[in-house]
A and B are shown apart, each in its own frame.
Chain A
Amino acid sequence: MSEIKVVANILHTNEEITSKNKEVLNEKGIYVINMMSSPGSGKTSLLERVISKLKGQLSIAVIEGDLYTTKDAERIEAQGVPVVQINTGGACHLDGKMIKGALESLNLDNVDLLVIENVGNLVCPAAFELGEDIKITVLSTTEGNDKPLKYPRMFENSGAIILNKLDLLEFTNFNKMEFYNDINALNAHAKIFETSCVKDQGIDDLCFWLSQQIDHKRGGNILCQE
């Protein structure tokens, strides 16, 4: 019997495809967000708000991940930006191969910002790179402030975290101090935003910061909001 040293990444297939996706996106200078959260935290509502505020100055495209329906894609389409729907058919996360297919059906010329809205799930999407520049995780006040500790990987790997449904805070037992302490322990470098789509709170700050990130990637020639 003999032993062979292998050292092969188990998720190598995804990583190979993802690095090719990244090459294409970097070449075009497109800033890519992988947006993740539980189902119902408000990813699509946030996206609607952000798109309506930024579409006048930026060219935005969206990839919508959903198990079965086109409901979210229809909402994004109503904002007048190109959107590609990926139906995973029950799979709980998007992967590099699905993104590769979606990129082929989008016209990427002159796109500044590509938002990939992942399948609503706080576990699996965190483990699958898609070729993004940043992972943004959305948590809503109604889910409870214990979620970052219960689902650490997603919050640990996110460059920004959005606390959404701030308008409902007073009706919940969400403890903001515990939330901030937990995020500090998991990922002290994450940028944190507090938003309410219903009351239009915090969206301008989020848009301004996103514009800066996009601007940075493109080398500084896009006007920032405000």
Chain B
Amino acid sequence: MHEVSIIQNVIEIATQKAFENNFSKINKVSLKIGQLTGVMPESLNFAFDSCIQGTMLEESTLGIEEVDALGKCEACNLQFSISHFNKLCPTCNNFCTSIVRGYELYVDTIEGD
């Protein structure tokens, strides 16, 4: 996937927020990444280490929280864990009608001084 361009957007978002909050330095950026996005945490870490050079994130660390995927069954309203390959409701065996979460791709928090 697009780990480098994702990290470039992360740097842009974090830098903007840091200015708004009068930070002179960012110590940590935390992301939430849904399990269905196909984005690889290892590749994000690799891209992060390369891309932060010369930015105000230069000495920061990257936190990645993976968000598990949840589907919803229209028949019984149950929300249940899904994966790419299993989206059947555990109680009525219907295919999930909507994916409630699993496609998250966002900057959750930044820490700085």
Contact = CB atoms under 8 A, between A and B. Distances in A.
Asked if A and B bind, the verdict is: yes
A186 B106 contact: no
Interface in B83-113: 84-87, 95, 97, 105-113
A149 B109 contact: no
Contacts of B95: 184, 188-189
Given A7-B107, A123-B1, A186 B113 contact: no
A10 B36 contact: no
Interface string A9-21: 1111100000000
B102 to A, nearest CB: 10
B87 A185 contact: yes
Given A127-B1, A153-B38, A189-B95, A10 B84 contact: no
A10 B13 CA distance: 8
A9 B87 contact: no
B14 interface: yes
Contacts, number: 80
A10 B106 contact: yes
A78 interface: no
Given A4-B17, A9-B105, A127 B37 contact: yes
B36 A156 contact: yes
B9 interface: yes
Given A6-B110, A10-B106, 10 more contacts: A1-B111, A1-B112, A6-B109, A8-B13, A8-B17, A8-B107, A9-B105, A10-B6, A11-B9, A186-B87
Contacts of A2: 21, 111-113
Interface residues of B, number: 29
B42 to A, nearest CB: 17
Given A124-B1, A127-B38, A6 B13 contact: yes
Given A6-B109, A123-B1, A156 B84 contact: yes
Contacts of B97: 189
Contacts of A13: 9
Contacts of B109: 3-6
Contacts of B27: 1
Interface residues of A, number: 26
Contacts of A152: 84-85
A127 B31 CA distance: 17
B52 interface: no
Given A124-B1, A127-B38, A5 B85 contact: no
Contact of B87 (A1, A124, A149, A188): A188
B2 A124 contact: yes
Interface string A184-205: 1110110000000000000000
Given A1-B112, A127-B2, A185-B87, A8 B37 contact: no
B84 to A, nearest CB: 4
B10 interface: yes
